[in-house]
Amino acid sequence: MKEFIEGSYAIAKIIKLCKPGVISAYPITPQTHIVEGLAQIVADGELKSEFINVESEHSAASVVLGASAAGVRAYTATSSQGLLLMTEVLFNIAGMRLPLVLTCANRAISAPINIWNDHQDSVTVRDSGWIQLYAETVQEACDLHIQAYKITEDHNIQLPVMICIDGYLLTHCGEVVDMPSQGEVDKFLSPFSPLYKLDVANPITMGVLGDPDCYMETRYAIQETMKDVLKLIPKVAGDFEKAFGRLSGGLVEKYKTDDAEKILVAKGSLVGTLKDVVDDLRTKGVKIGVLKVVSHRPFPEDAIFDALKKAKYVGIVEKSISLGAYGPLYTDIKALFQGKKESPCINGFVIGLGGRDVTKESVKEIIDQISEFGPTNKFIGLKL
Protein backbone atom coordinates (compact mmCIF):
# COMPACT_ATOMS: atom_id res chain seq x y z
CA MET A 1 0.00 0.00 0.00
CA LYS A 2 1.37 3.39 -0.98
CA GLU A 3 1.39 6.21 1.53
CA PHE A 4 2.97 9.64 1.86
CA ILE A 5 5.14 9.49 4.96
CA GLU A 6 8.22 10.99 6.59
CA GLY A 7 11.32 8.88 6.06
CA SER A 8 11.97 8.21 9.75
CA TYR A 9 8.45 7.02 10.45
CA ALA A 10 8.52 4.88 7.31
CA ILE A 11 11.62 3.12 8.64
CA ALA A 12 9.97 2.70 12.03
CA LYS A 13 7.00 1.00 10.37
CA ILE A 14 9.32 -1.25 8.35
CA ILE A 15 11.19 -2.29 11.49
CA LYS A 16 7.85 -3.11 13.08
CA LEU A 17 7.12 -5.45 10.16
CA CYS A 18 10.50 -7.16 10.74
CA LYS A 19 9.44 -7.98 14.33
CA PRO A 20 12.56 -7.39 16.43
CA GLY A 21 12.15 -8.74 19.96
CA VAL A 22 14.44 -6.10 21.46
CA ILE A 23 14.88 -2.46 20.46
CA SER A 24 17.32 -0.18 22.25
CA ALA A 25 18.49 3.25 21.20
CA TYR A 26 19.43 6.62 22.58
CA PRO A 27 17.83 9.58 20.78
CA ILE A 28 20.15 11.79 18.74
CA THR A 29 19.34 14.18 15.90
CA PRO A 30 18.51 13.33 13.10
CA GLN A 31 17.82 9.73 14.12
CA THR A 32 15.30 10.61 16.85
CA HIS A 33 12.06 10.23 14.90
CA ILE A 34 12.90 6.62 14.03
CA VAL A 35 13.13 5.43 17.62
CA GLU A 36 10.39 7.83 18.70
CA GLY A 37 8.11 6.13 16.19
CA LEU A 38 9.16 2.67 17.35
CA ALA A 39 8.67 3.61 21.02
CA GLN A 40 5.11 4.67 20.21
CA ILE A 41 4.48 1.52 18.19
CA VAL A 42 5.62 -0.66 21.12
CA ALA A 43 3.70 1.43 23.68
CA ASP A 44 0.53 1.10 21.61
CA GLY A 45 0.88 -2.68 21.58
CA GLU A 46 1.37 -2.86 17.81
CA LEU A 47 4.67 -4.70 18.20
CA LYS A 48 5.50 -7.28 20.84
CA SER A 49 8.99 -6.10 21.67
CA GLU A 50 11.07 -4.88 24.59
CA PHE A 51 11.98 -1.23 24.06
CA ILE A 52 14.87 -0.68 26.46
CA ASN A 53 15.71 2.88 27.48
CA VAL A 54 19.39 3.52 28.13
CA GLU A 55 21.64 6.40 29.14
CA SER A 56 23.93 6.39 26.08
CA GLU A 57 24.57 4.96 22.65
CA HIS A 58 27.33 2.75 24.07
CA SER A 59 24.71 1.15 26.32
CA ALA A 60 22.20 0.84 23.47
CA ALA A 61 24.74 -1.08 21.39
CA SER A 62 25.58 -3.24 24.40
CA VAL A 63 21.90 -4.08 24.94
CA VAL A 64 21.33 -5.22 21.36
CA LEU A 65 24.61 -7.15 21.46
CA GLY A 66 23.28 -9.05 24.45
CA ALA A 67 19.88 -9.56 22.86
CA SER A 68 21.38 -11.01 19.69
CA ALA A 69 23.72 -13.22 21.70
CA ALA A 70 20.68 -14.53 23.60
CA GLY A 71 18.98 -15.47 20.33
CA VAL A 72 16.60 -12.53 19.86
CA ARG A 73 16.21 -10.42 16.71
CA ALA A 74 17.30 -6.90 17.68
CA TYR A 75 17.50 -3.38 16.29
CA THR A 76 19.14 -0.04 17.06
CA ALA A 77 19.71 3.31 15.38
CA THR A 78 22.02 6.26 15.85
CA SER A 79 23.86 9.17 14.24
CA SER A 80 27.19 10.97 14.25
CA GLN A 81 28.72 11.24 17.75
CA GLY A 82 26.36 8.50 18.90
CA LEU A 83 27.78 6.10 16.33
CA LEU A 84 31.30 6.96 17.43
CA LEU A 85 30.35 6.37 21.07
CA MET A 86 29.20 2.90 19.97
CA THR A 87 32.48 2.15 18.20
CA GLU A 88 33.93 -0.19 20.83
CA VAL A 89 30.75 -2.26 20.86
CA LEU A 90 30.39 -2.21 17.06
CA PHE A 91 33.71 -4.00 16.73
CA ASN A 92 32.61 -6.49 19.40
CA ILE A 93 29.32 -7.22 17.60
CA ALA A 94 31.07 -7.97 14.32
CA GLY A 95 33.90 -9.89 16.00
CA MET A 96 31.37 -12.06 17.84
CA ARG A 97 29.57 -12.70 14.53
CA LEU A 98 26.20 -11.51 15.84
CA PRO A 99 23.29 -10.87 13.44
CA LEU A 100 22.01 -7.32 13.92
CA VAL A 101 20.61 -4.36 11.98
CA LEU A 102 21.50 -0.74 12.77
CA THR A 103 20.25 2.41 11.05
CA CYS A 104 22.80 5.19 10.79
CA ALA A 105 21.08 8.51 10.04
CA ASN A 106 24.19 10.06 8.56
CA ARG A 107 25.30 13.32 10.18
CA ALA A 108 28.49 15.36 10.34
CA ILE A 109 31.03 14.81 13.12
CA SER A 110 31.98 17.49 15.66
CA ALA A 111 33.81 19.80 16.19
CA PRO A 112 32.45 22.28 15.33
CA ILE A 113 29.02 20.99 16.34
CA ASN A 114 26.97 20.31 13.24
CA ILE A 115 23.70 18.37 13.05
CA TRP A 116 23.39 18.27 9.27
CA ASN A 117 24.23 15.57 6.77
CA ASP A 118 27.41 14.08 5.44
CA HIS A 119 28.95 10.59 5.57
CA GLN A 120 31.83 11.19 7.98
CA ASP A 121 30.23 9.09 10.72
CA SER A 122 29.64 5.81 8.91
CA VAL A 123 32.86 5.87 6.88
CA THR A 124 34.80 6.28 10.12
CA VAL A 125 33.67 2.79 11.19
CA ARG A 126 33.80 1.17 7.76
CA ASP A 127 36.61 -1.17 8.91
CA SER A 128 34.68 -2.54 11.90
CA GLY A 129 33.43 -5.69 10.14
CA TRP A 130 29.89 -4.37 9.55
CA ILE A 131 28.21 -4.62 6.18
CA GLN A 132 27.40 -1.05 5.03
CA LEU A 133 24.58 -0.31 2.58
CA TYR A 134 23.67 3.25 1.49
CA ALA A 135 20.15 4.30 0.46
CA GLU A 136 19.33 6.84 -2.24
CA THR A 137 15.63 7.25 -1.40
CA VAL A 138 13.24 6.57 1.46
CA GLN A 139 11.79 3.67 -0.52
CA GLU A 140 15.22 2.13 -0.94
CA ALA A 141 15.96 2.71 2.75
CA CYS A 142 12.82 0.79 3.70
CA ASP A 143 13.57 -2.02 1.28
CA LEU A 144 17.17 -2.31 2.46
CA HIS A 145 16.13 -2.83 6.07
CA ILE A 146 14.04 -5.85 5.13
CA GLN A 147 16.90 -7.22 3.04
CA ALA A 148 19.37 -6.47 5.84
CA TYR A 149 17.72 -8.92 8.22
CA LYS A 150 17.75 -11.56 5.49
CA ILE A 151 21.47 -10.99 4.96
CA THR A 152 22.64 -10.72 8.55
CA GLU A 153 20.70 -13.79 9.72
CA ASP A 154 21.97 -16.04 6.94
CA HIS A 155 23.86 -18.82 8.71
CA ASN A 156 26.75 -18.51 6.25
CA ILE A 157 27.15 -14.81 7.02
CA GLN A 158 26.45 -13.92 10.67
CA LEU A 159 27.72 -10.34 10.29
CA PRO A 160 25.82 -7.18 11.31
CA VAL A 161 24.39 -4.75 8.75
CA MET A 162 24.38 -0.97 8.91
CA ILE A 163 21.84 0.81 6.70
CA CYS A 164 23.07 4.35 6.06
CA ILE A 165 20.48 7.01 5.25
CA ASP A 166 21.16 10.71 4.82
CA GLY A 167 20.07 12.75 7.82
CA TYR A 168 17.23 15.20 7.13
CA LEU A 169 17.48 14.63 3.37
CA LEU A 170 15.86 11.23 3.86
CA THR A 171 14.99 10.98 7.56
CA HIS A 172 12.84 14.11 7.59
CA CYS A 173 11.59 14.30 4.02
CA GLY A 174 8.13 13.23 2.94
CA GLU A 175 8.00 10.63 0.19
CA VAL A 176 5.48 8.25 -1.29
CA VAL A 177 6.46 4.81 -0.04
CA ASP A 178 5.09 1.47 -1.15
CA MET A 179 4.65 -0.08 2.29
CA PRO A 180 4.43 -3.88 2.26
CA SER A 181 1.97 -5.84 4.34
CA GLN A 182 2.90 -7.91 7.36
CA GLY A 183 2.09 -11.05 5.41
CA GLU A 184 4.46 -10.11 2.59
CA VAL A 185 7.34 -9.43 4.97
CA ASP A 186 6.65 -12.61 6.95
CA LYS A 187 6.77 -14.63 3.74
CA PHE A 188 10.10 -13.05 2.71
CA LEU A 189 11.76 -12.93 6.13
CA SER A 190 11.78 -16.16 8.13
CA PRO A 191 11.59 -16.07 11.93
CA PHE A 192 14.98 -15.53 13.55
CA SER A 193 16.75 -18.85 14.02
CA PRO A 194 20.23 -18.10 15.40
CA LEU A 195 23.09 -20.44 14.67
CA TYR A 196 24.43 -19.96 18.19
CA LYS A 197 22.93 -18.41 21.31
CA LEU A 198 23.49 -18.19 25.04
CA ASP A 199 21.41 -20.93 26.64
CA VAL A 200 21.80 -22.38 30.14
CA ALA A 201 20.64 -25.76 28.80
CA ASN A 202 23.39 -25.76 26.16
CA PRO A 203 26.14 -23.49 27.53
CA ILE A 204 28.66 -21.89 25.22
CA THR A 205 31.20 -19.11 25.66
CA MET A 206 31.14 -15.90 23.60
CA GLY A 207 33.64 -13.09 23.44
CA VAL A 208 36.60 -15.07 24.75
CA LEU A 209 40.20 -13.88 24.84
CA GLY A 210 41.81 -14.20 21.43
CA ASP A 211 45.55 -14.59 21.90
CA PRO A 212 48.15 -14.44 19.09
CA ASP A 213 47.50 -18.11 18.29
CA CYS A 214 43.94 -17.45 17.09
CA TYR A 215 43.16 -13.72 16.71
CA MET A 216 44.46 -13.41 13.15
CA GLU A 217 42.21 -16.27 12.03
CA THR A 218 39.14 -14.40 13.29
CA ARG A 219 39.97 -11.45 11.03
CA TYR A 220 40.62 -13.81 8.14
CA ALA A 221 37.25 -15.47 8.70
CA ILE A 222 35.40 -12.14 8.53
CA GLN A 223 37.36 -11.14 5.43
CA GLU A 224 36.47 -14.40 3.70
CA THR A 225 32.82 -14.10 4.75
CA MET A 226 32.67 -10.64 3.16
CA LYS A 227 33.34 -12.40 -0.16
CA ASP A 228 30.25 -14.49 0.45
CA VAL A 229 28.31 -11.32 1.28
CA LEU A 230 29.17 -9.95 -2.17
CA LYS A 231 27.41 -12.97 -3.67
CA LEU A 232 24.48 -12.89 -1.26
CA ILE A 233 23.52 -9.21 -1.58
CA PRO A 234 22.52 -9.47 -5.29
CA LYS A 235 20.69 -12.73 -4.60
CA VAL A 236 18.66 -11.18 -1.78
CA ALA A 237 17.92 -8.15 -3.97
CA GLY A 238 16.72 -10.50 -6.71
CA ASP A 239 14.54 -12.44 -4.28
CA PHE A 240 13.16 -9.14 -3.00
CA GLU A 241 12.24 -8.07 -6.54
CA LYS A 242 10.36 -11.33 -7.09
CA ALA A 243 8.51 -10.96 -3.79
CA PHE A 244 7.69 -7.25 -3.88
CA GLY A 245 7.79 -6.36 -7.58
CA ARG A 246 10.59 -3.80 -7.51
CA LEU A 247 14.37 -3.99 -7.76
CA SER A 248 16.03 -2.32 -4.82
CA GLY A 249 19.48 -2.55 -3.29
CA GLY A 250 22.13 -4.78 -4.80
CA LEU A 251 25.81 -3.87 -4.91
CA VAL A 252 25.76 -1.00 -7.39
CA GLU A 253 23.29 0.63 -9.76
CA LYS A 254 24.31 1.74 -13.24
CA TYR A 255 22.50 4.76 -14.64
CA LYS A 256 23.11 5.53 -18.32
CA THR A 257 26.69 4.26 -18.10
CA ASP A 258 26.82 1.86 -21.05
CA ASP A 259 28.01 4.45 -23.60
CA ALA A 260 29.22 7.09 -21.15
CA GLU A 261 32.59 8.75 -21.62
CA LYS A 262 32.32 10.36 -18.20
CA ILE A 263 30.85 8.61 -15.16
CA LEU A 264 30.09 10.15 -11.79
CA VAL A 265 30.31 7.79 -8.80
CA ALA A 266 28.51 8.47 -5.52
CA LYS A 267 26.34 6.95 -2.79
CA GLY A 268 23.27 7.98 -0.84
CA SER A 269 20.73 10.69 -1.70
CA LEU A 270 23.41 12.64 -3.55
CA VAL A 271 22.89 10.22 -6.43
CA GLY A 272 19.46 11.68 -7.17
CA THR A 273 20.92 15.12 -7.89
CA LEU A 274 23.61 13.58 -10.09
CA LYS A 275 20.97 11.72 -12.09
CA ASP A 276 19.03 14.96 -12.68
CA VAL A 277 22.15 16.66 -14.04
CA VAL A 278 22.96 13.67 -16.23
CA ASP A 279 19.43 13.73 -17.65
CA ASP A 280 19.86 17.42 -18.50
CA LEU A 281 23.20 16.86 -20.18
CA ARG A 282 22.03 13.80 -22.08
CA THR A 283 19.42 15.96 -23.86
CA LYS A 284 22.36 18.02 -25.13
CA GLY A 285 24.21 14.99 -26.43
CA VAL A 286 26.72 14.65 -23.61
CA LYS A 287 27.67 11.02 -22.98
CA ILE A 288 27.66 10.88 -19.20
CA GLY A 289 26.30 8.49 -16.59
CA VAL A 290 26.14 7.74 -12.87
CA LEU A 291 27.30 4.73 -10.88
CA LYS A 292 25.59 4.43 -7.52
CA VAL A 293 27.50 2.45 -4.91
CA VAL A 294 25.04 0.76 -2.55
CA SER A 295 27.49 -1.52 -0.76
CA HIS A 296 30.61 0.26 0.46
CA ARG A 297 31.48 -2.66 2.72
CA PRO A 298 32.04 -5.19 1.43
CA PHE A 299 33.58 -3.24 -1.43
CA PRO A 300 32.17 -4.61 -4.72
CA GLU A 301 35.36 -4.29 -6.73
CA ASP A 302 34.32 -6.51 -9.64
CA ALA A 303 30.99 -4.73 -10.16
CA ILE A 304 32.63 -1.30 -9.96
CA PHE A 305 35.49 -2.28 -12.26
CA ASP A 306 33.11 -3.63 -14.89
CA ALA A 307 30.95 -0.50 -14.73
CA LEU A 308 33.85 1.96 -15.05
CA LYS A 309 36.49 0.25 -17.18
CA LYS A 310 35.23 1.56 -20.54
CA ALA A 311 34.82 5.16 -19.42
CA LYS A 312 37.45 7.77 -20.28
CA TYR A 313 36.92 9.83 -17.16
CA VAL A 314 35.51 9.09 -13.72
CA GLY A 315 34.58 11.60 -11.05
CA ILE A 316 34.20 10.27 -7.51
CA VAL A 317 31.80 12.56 -5.64
CA GLU A 318 31.57 11.98 -1.89
CA LYS A 319 30.40 13.55 1.33
CA SER A 320 33.43 12.52 3.33
CA ILE A 321 37.17 13.05 3.56
CA SER A 322 39.92 11.09 5.26
CA LEU A 323 41.73 14.13 6.62
CA GLY A 324 45.34 14.11 5.54
CA ALA A 325 44.60 11.72 2.69
CA TYR A 326 41.67 11.40 0.24
CA GLY A 327 37.99 10.59 0.10
CA PRO A 328 37.46 6.98 1.23
CA LEU A 329 35.52 5.96 -1.89
CA TYR A 330 38.09 7.67 -4.11
CA THR A 331 40.88 5.74 -2.39
CA ASP A 332 39.09 2.41 -2.84
CA ILE A 333 38.34 2.96 -6.52
CA LYS A 334 41.74 4.44 -7.35
CA ALA A 335 43.41 1.38 -5.81
CA LEU A 336 41.10 -0.90 -7.78
CA PHE A 337 42.47 0.39 -11.10
CA GLN A 338 46.10 0.59 -10.03
CA GLY A 339 48.25 -1.10 -12.66
CA LYS A 340 45.27 -2.14 -14.81
CA LYS A 341 45.39 -1.66 -18.59
CA GLU A 342 41.73 -0.67 -18.63
CA SER A 343 41.94 2.39 -16.43
CA PRO A 344 40.00 5.65 -16.80
CA CYS A 345 41.29 8.98 -15.50
CA ILE A 346 39.93 9.14 -11.97
CA ASN A 347 39.26 12.47 -10.25
CA GLY A 348 38.12 12.97 -6.67
CA PHE A 349 35.71 15.58 -5.30
CA VAL A 350 34.50 16.37 -1.77
CA ILE A 351 31.11 18.02 -1.50
CA GLY A 352 28.24 18.72 0.88
CA LEU A 353 30.13 18.41 4.15
CA GLY A 354 28.13 19.51 7.17
CA GLY A 355 24.95 19.69 5.12
CA ARG A 356 26.10 22.27 2.58
CA ASP A 357 23.71 22.29 -0.37
CA VAL A 358 24.61 20.19 -3.38
CA THR A 359 23.16 22.05 -6.35
CA LYS A 360 23.00 21.23 -10.02
CA GLU A 361 25.47 24.05 -10.57
CA SER A 362 27.99 22.49 -8.19
CA VAL A 363 27.62 19.13 -9.94
CA LYS A 364 28.20 20.79 -13.32
CA GLU A 365 31.29 22.43 -11.84
CA ILE A 366 32.56 18.97 -10.97
CA ILE A 367 31.85 17.65 -14.46
CA ASP A 368 33.73 20.57 -16.03
CA GLN A 369 36.82 19.75 -13.97
CA ILE A 370 36.93 16.05 -14.78
CA SER A 371 39.90 15.54 -17.08
CA GLU A 372 43.19 13.73 -17.52
CA PHE A 373 44.85 16.21 -15.19
CA GLY A 374 41.82 16.79 -12.99
CA PRO A 375 41.84 17.06 -9.19
CA THR A 376 42.24 14.22 -6.73
CA ASN A 377 40.80 15.88 -3.63
CA LYS A 378 38.94 19.01 -4.75
CA PHE A 379 36.53 20.60 -2.28
CA ILE A 380 33.49 21.91 -4.16
CA GLY A 381 31.40 24.81 -2.86
CA LEU A 382 33.95 26.39 -0.52
CA LYS A 383 33.29 29.95 0.68
CA LEU A 384 36.85 31.30 0.67
CATH number of 2-244: 3.40.50.970
pLDDT bucket at 264, cuts 50 / 70 / 90 = very high
Using N-to-C axis directions, what is the helix angle for 32-43 and 7-18, rounded to 10°?
Answer: 50
Q: How far is CA 84 from the centre of its chain?
A: 16
Q: Please say whether the beta carbons of 203 and 174 come within 8 A.
A: no
Q: Give per-residue pLDDT as tens, 285-294.
A: 999 999 999 9
- Residue 280 predicted with pLDDT over 90: yes
Give the residues across from 262 on adjacent strands. 288, 313
Q: What is the dihedral of CA 281, 282, 283, 286, to 10 degrees?
A: 70
Same fold, 2-244 and 252-379: yes
Q: Residue 209: what residue type?
A: L
Q: Rounded to an integer, what distance in angstroms lies between the CA atom of residue 299 and that of residue 365?
A: 28
- Residue 184 predicted with pLDDT over 90: yes
- Fold held by 252-379: Rossmann fold (3.40.50)
Q: Where are the beta strands (DSSP E) in 1-92?
A: 2-6, 22-24, 50-52, 74-78
- Torsion 318-329-268-95 (CA) sign: negative
Going from N- to C-terminal start, the domains of the chain cover 2-244, 252-379
pLDDT computed for residue 126 by the predictor: 97
Cis peptide before 160 (omega within 30 of 0): no
pTM exceeds cut of 0.95: yes
pLDDT computed for residue 374 by the predictor: 87
Q: Give per-residue pLDDT as tens, 208-229.
A: 999 999 999 999 999 999 999 9
Question: Residue ranges of the alpha helices (H) in 44-191?
Answer: 57-69, 80-85, 87-95, 120-124, 138-152, 182-188
CB within 8 Å of 42: residues ≥ 6 apart: 23, 49, 51
- Residue 341 predicted with pLDDT over 90: no
Helix (H) or strand (E) holding 314: strand 313-318
pLDDT bucket at 342, cuts 50 / 70 / 90 = confident
Using N-to-C axis directions, what is the helix angle for 87-95 and 215-244, rounded to 10°?
Answer: 90
CB within 8 Å of 153: residues ≥ 6 apart: 73, 99, 190, 192, 193, 194
Q: Please say whether the beta carbons of 367 and 262 come within 8 A.
A: yes
